[in-house]
Amino acid sequence: MSETPEILSKKESTRIYTLFYSFFLIPFMIAIFGAVFFLLFRFITFETDDASALLNQVKIGSASKRWQSAFELSKVFNNPDKIPTDISFKNQMVSSYNHAIHDDPLVRAYLALAMGVTQDNFYATVLVDGLNDENRESRLAAVQAVGMIGTSAASPKLKELVQDSNFPQERLASTIALGLIGDEESIPLLRELLEDEEPNIQWDAAIGLAKMGDSTGAFIIESLMDRHYLSAFPQVDESEKNQAILIAIEVASFLKNDRLENKLISLAESDENLKIRDAAMKTLESAYNRVL
């Protein structure tokens, strides 16, 4: 028995509705819910790059929000255009750092790094005080910060930490900071550190000396440009080897040394990494007046 036109019409309507529901309405609703979820997620996780707003969160935010905002400040300040220069903001930074001594150590540590990134000597005094923190993390951050600022007032305490600290990471950070500060009174200690039991400390002592024009550690700089030497340290991966070589090439420009010049020529002519070859050629040209 054939179906009547009325029954056929109802079936066609049902089919069209099913198609509409399956291929348009459900995907549309999924898209809407997805967009709402995405916007809600962005709202919840939104982080401002306004320094004043972040500092305000450090002062009044929840426990987790305070250290996160301090961390964000240290990142934001990597852009010099984002660093406030008004005295009011600077005083608030110092005040927040001082009050953070009773807070989560991460807050004080990230505030120290944020002040260090500015390279503003305004923060030098309070950061030198931070070198005496009992908490190792906040003390280590202060060490790194005074190095970035380059305040020679920190040198006596840094020397003490290099010689007396029981933490290799703190001794290394203090060695790096002394090299960055470039105080000539630190040269005798840095020379002693060329024979330290920690290779990292030897390397950074040599780099610090080279930046001050002292060639005592030139033999270590030469070694750092040798892949065979670096291969003796299995914990150093390929990217770290490349970075070490690039740093050695950079500091070689501070020293007029025949052995370093020969090493630079070798790297420029045959190193497997094109970036290293280019850096070596540029250093030879600019510092040694040698064009390959």
Question: Does 58 share its domain with 145?
Answer: yes
User: 100, 119, 149: which is the final residue of a domain?
Assistant: 149
Q: How many domains does the chain have?
A: 2
Q: Which residues contact 268 (CB under 8 A, 6 or more apart)?
A: 277, 280, 281, 284, 292
Neighbour count for residue 291 (Cβ, 10 Å) = 7
Neighbour count for residue 19 (Cβ, 10 Å) = 10
DSSP state for residue 154 in the 8-state scheme: G
Sign of CA dihedral 109, 115, 117, 120: negative
Separation between Cα atoms, residue 278 and residue 269, nearest integer Å: 9
Tokens of 86: 């008004």
pLDDT at 6: 54
pLDDT range class, residue 292, cuts 50, 70, 90:
confident
pLDDT range class, residue 46, cuts 50, 70, 90:
very low
pLDDT at 4: 54
Per the domain annotation, does 4 fall within a domain?
no
Q: pLDDT tens digits, residue range 106-117?
A: 999 999 999 999
Contact 88/51 with Cβ under 8 angstroms? no
* CA Rg value for the chain: 29
Q: What are phi and psi of 33, to 5 degrees?
A: -60, -35
DSSP state for residue 2 in the 8-state scheme: P
Q: pLDDT tens digits, residue range 211-253?
A: 999 999 999 999 999 999 999 999 999 999 999 999 999 999 9
DSSP state for residue 134 in the 8-state scheme: S
Per the domain annotation, does 60 fall within a domain?
yes
pLDDT at 291: 80
Per the domain annotation, does 3 fall within a domain?
no
Tokens of 274: 């094109």
Taking all residues of the chain, what is their mean pLDDT, rounded to a whole number?
87
Judge whether residue 8 has pLDDT over 70.
Answer: no
Per the domain annotation, does 97 fall within a domain?
yes
Contact 199/224 with Cβ under 8 angstroms? no
User: 97, 130, 149: which is the final residue of a domain?
Assistant: 149
Per the domain annotation, does 260 fall within a domain?
yes
User: 109, 128, 149: which is the final residue of a domain?
Assistant: 149
Q: Which has the minimum average pLDDT: 140-149, 186-195, 201-210, 254-263?
A: 254-263
Q: pLDDT tens digits, residue range 124-134?
A: 999 999 999 99
Judge whether residue 185 has pLDDT over 60.
Answer: yes
Per the domain annotation, does 99 fall within a domain?
yes
| % pLDDT > 90, the chain | 78
Q: pLDDT tens digits, residue range 58-110?
A: 999 888 899 999 999 999 999 999 999 999 999 999 999 999 999 999 999 99
Per the domain annotation, does 6 fall within a domain?
no
pLDDT range class, residue 256, cuts 50, 70, 90:
confident
Q: pLDDT tens digits, residue range 10-43?
A: 445 554 444 444 444 445 455 555 554 444 444 3
Q: Which domain holds residue 285?
A: 217-292
Question: Does 144 share its domain with 222?
Answer: no
Question: Does 52 share its domain with 145?
Answer: yes
Per the domain annotation, does 269 fall within a domain?
yes
